[in-house]
Amino acid sequence: MSWTTKACCSAKPLVLVAAAFLFGCDVWPRDTFGTTDQVRSGGVLYAGLSPNPPWTSMTDGHPGGVEVELVEELAASLDVEVSWTEMNESGLAEALRARQVQIGVGGFHTGMKSSARFTRSYVDYKGRKHVMAVPHGESRWLVIVESWLHDKGDLVRRELEAEEAEAAS
Amino acid sequence: MRRTREFRFPKQQRKVFAQATQLVRILVLATSISAVLFYLVKGKSSAMQAAWLESLVTLLPAMIFLITSQFSRRFPSGRFPYGFHRAPSVGYLGGSVVLLVAGAYIVLSSVFSLAQAPPPAIGIAVILGEPLWLGWLMLPVLLYDMIAMSMLGKAMLPLGEQVHDKQLHAIAEMAKADWLSDAAAMVGVIGIGFGIWWLDGVAAIVIGVDVTKDGISNTRRAVEDLMDATPTTVDRKQVESTVPEVAEYLRSLPWVDDASVRMRDEGHAIFGEGFVVPKPGTADLVDKLHEASEHVARHHWKMAELSIVPVRRLPAHLEIEDPPLPYFEFVRERGTMMRRTLKRLLPRVIGDRGKEG
């Protein structure tokens, strides 16, 4: 019994020190497979797109839609170019798992079954919580994407409502 | 039908028991808070998932204790002439089995997800409009659980001993040992933070093993209690001193040739029989028996009722036996035995081969 007491008392300050140390680092959390570093050092963000208007579309090799705009803006904030590839939903999930693309969009929402890692939802639209997809195990990249998206919800909703009103009239 | 004497704690123990019950209430509250916080911040980490499940299942024994201890000192009735002292033991068995099953579930699902599921990642939460990495919330929540549980466990441990309540002791022990799972979950979260994704799954397995261990040892104890094992101290390391003391007292009576006892523990109250062989020609036997039983009641508060039975010969005598080693010490002992045997055998086997070569 006494060894547990000792271990407990000596573990607490250690954990505190470790936590304080880690709070000081801005490179934390890290990726498992280095997606963030690849994007930054390569200067290109490989993005997969599964057409699903009004979120995403591909006309004559030109990507469009609100989520495409969002990814373009994210890339601009990271100072990199976007390289788009069109694929279907399951192909996109596969490409994400193989880390051939670093982000996937296609009007995904939390109600969908997918083997991809979804971000937290960034907008509630028509009762659906919409998300983007990223590779598994990449905490730093996930934090970058989610932090970028977290305050874009209202903007996206307004844009979509405006588009809908335009189409109706 | 005759019912047993009403069991009441002496004044000091009554106060301690009320204190301990209060602490269990605080424990239930603290654990519920942990469970809610864990649920809110657990994200996709399997270590956090395991810590959340653990806080839910460890809530159970404490809640069962609060409910059943209300029953336990209820007055014996015509239908339950021995009283309700066993109620907490019955609840304890149920809670322990749930712990065992939940522990096995956590281990299996963690092994499965470590082997099959893609590496986990932890994203952000938005607090007051600001994005914050969830890991920064997980660590303080785990630290809170660690400090709250070990403090409450430490405070409760001596109280359980003072009122001779094994369930209380078990709950306190579990709370006190909870820091291990919290530390494991911290390692898992920090592991994800460093991109060492498998640490998360390993931490979840450690938590699962810890819960399973609690489940095994507590189920074993609960079964021992319900099987009327000889009363032990709450830490179950030795026989409760009341047993040999009462036997010694009966043997020391001038009108007694020989005596032995048989006792069982029903929660914080001990019941049993004392067999005495009166010296031939003892006068006023009934008065003497009464006197002896009153003496035991006065001097041993844990003894709820002792039926003293005069007999010609003692029933086949059984030595009072110390409880066996706790399960994991038992396993360790076995391990040493096997190692010793191997050490003795291996040189022979290898030596023979050496000669052949």
Using DSSP bridges, classify how beta strands B130-133 and B124-127 pair: parallel, antiparallel or unpaired: antiparallel
A138–chain B nearest CA distance, Å: 6
pLDDT for res A5: 46
ipTM of the complex, rounded to two decimals: 0.82
pTM of the model as a whole: 0.85
For B173, other C-beta atoms within 10 Å of its C-beta total 21
pLDDT for res A98: 93
Asked if A117 and B118 come within 8 Å (Cβ–Cβ), the reply is: yes
pLDDT for res B1: 52
The share of chain B scoring above pLDDT 70, in percent, equals 92
Asked if A137 and B146 come within 8 Å (Cβ–Cβ), the reply is: no
Whether the CB of A85 is below 8 Å from some CB of chain B: the reply is no
CA nearest to A141, candidates A9, A65, A33: A33
Return the residue of B nearest to A31 by Cα. Answer: B195
Using DSSP bridges, classify how beta strands B269-278 and B256-266 pair: parallel, antiparallel or unpaired: antiparallel
Kindly report, residue by residue over B326-342, the tens digit of the pLDDT. Answer: 656 666 667 777 777 77
When CB atoms are compared, the residue of B121, B131, B194 closest to A136 is B121
pLDDT for res B357: 39
pLDDT at B153 over 90: yes
Kindly report, residue by residue over B173-198, the tens digit of the pLDDT. Answer: 999 999 999 999 999 999 999 999 99
What number of residues does chain A have? 169
Give A-chain residues touching B136 at CB under 8 angstroms: 23
Give B-chain residues touching A18 at CB under 8 angstroms: 190
CA distance A31 to A117: 14
Work out the burial of residue B167: count CB atoms within 10 Å of its CB; fewer than 13 is exposed, 13-18 middle, 19 or more buried. Answer: buried
B45, B46, B113, B133: best mutation site toward chain A, by most A Cβ within 10 Å? B133
Helices B327-356 and B198-226 meet at what angle, rounded to 10?
A: 120
pLDDT for res A167: 87
Asked if B118 and A136 come within 8 Å (Cβ–Cβ), the reply is: yes
Strands of the sheet with B303-310, listed across from one edge: B256-266, B269-278, B303-310
∠ CA B14-B233-B321, rounded to 5°: 145
Give A-chain residues touching B143 at CB under 8 angstroms: 15-16, 19
State the residue for tokens 């839609």: A65
Give B-chain residues touching A138 at CB under 8 angstroms: 121
CA nearest to B84, candidates B266, B263, B265, B229: B266
Kindly report, residue by residue over B71-90, the tens digit of the pLDDT. Answer: 887 888 889 888 888 898 99
pLDDT at B356 over 50: no
CA distance A166 to B149: 59
For B315, which DSSP code?
-
Inter-CA distances, B106 with A148, B201, B216, Å: 35, 11, 14
Which residue type is seen at B132? Answer: L
Asked if B135 and A29 come within 8 Å (Cβ–Cβ), the reply is: yes
pLDDT at B320 over 90: no
CB B242 within 8 A of CB B300: yes
A26–chain B nearest CA distance, Å: 11
Structural element, H or E, at residue B207: helix B198-226
Please state, rounded to an integer, the average pLDDT across all residues of chain A. 87
Return the residue of A nearest to B45 by Cα. Answer: A137
Return the residue of A nearest to B195 by Cα. Answer: A32
Contacts of B343 (CB under 8 A, 6+ apart): none
pLDDT for res A17: 58
Kindly report, residue by residue over A68-122, the tens digit of the pLDDT. Answer: 999 999 999 999 999 999 999 999 999 999 999 999 999 999 999 888 999 999 9
Kindly report, residue by residue over B262-312, the tens digit of the pLDDT. Answer: 999 988 789 999 999 999 999 999 999 999 999 999 999 999 889 999 999
